[in-house]
C-alpha cells in the first residue's frame, strides 16, 4: 500500500498530555479500514512528522484536516530502509 509523509504543525502536539489525548486510542490512528497513520514524530522546533499508509493521498489529507494540522508538505515515500531491510515505499 502506498505511503506518505506529512510535515506540519498540529496545535498543542508538542505537549505530551495533548498528544496522548489525540493519539492514544487506535481509532485515532485509523481514518478508515484502509488508512492508517503509523508514526508521528514531534520535532524540537514544534513541527510534527506523520507517516501514513493509505490507498490514496486524499485519505491522509482528510485525517490531517480532521486533526487540525497546518500542513507544510505531503510527500510520497519512494523507498524505505529499516535496520538493513529496504523496500519500495509505494508497493511494500
DSSP string, the chain: --EEEEEEE-TTTTSHHHHHHHHSSGGGTEEETTEEEEEEEE-TTS-EEEEEE-SSHHHHHHHHHHTT-EEEEEEE--EEEETTEEEESS--
pLDDT at 89 over 70: no
> Given 3.40.50.970, 3.40.50.10140, 3.30.70.3400, 3.40.50.2300, which CATH number is that of 3-88?
3.30.70.3400
pLDDT in tens, 6-27: 999 999 999 999 999 999 998 8
> What are 1's three cell numbers?
500500500
C-alpha cell, 44: 524540537
pTM over 0.75: yes
* For residue 92, pLDDT beyond 80: no
Amino acid at each position: 500500500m502506498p505511503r506518505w509523509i506529512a510535515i506540519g504543525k498540529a496545535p498543542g502536539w508538542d505537549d505530551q498530555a495533548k498528544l496522548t489525548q489525540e493519539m492514544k486510542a487506535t481509532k485515532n490512528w485509523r481514518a478508515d479500514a484502509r488508512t492508517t497513520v503509523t508514526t508521528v514524530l514531534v520535532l524540537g522546533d514544534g513541527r510534527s512528522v506523520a507517516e501514513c499508509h493509505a490507498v490514496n493521498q486524499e485519505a491522509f489529507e482528510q485525517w490531517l484536516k480532521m486533526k487540525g494540522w497546518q500542513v507544510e508538505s505531503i510527500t510520497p515515500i519512494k523507498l524505505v530502509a529499516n535496520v538493513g531491510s529496504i523496500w519500495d515505499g509505494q508497493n511494500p
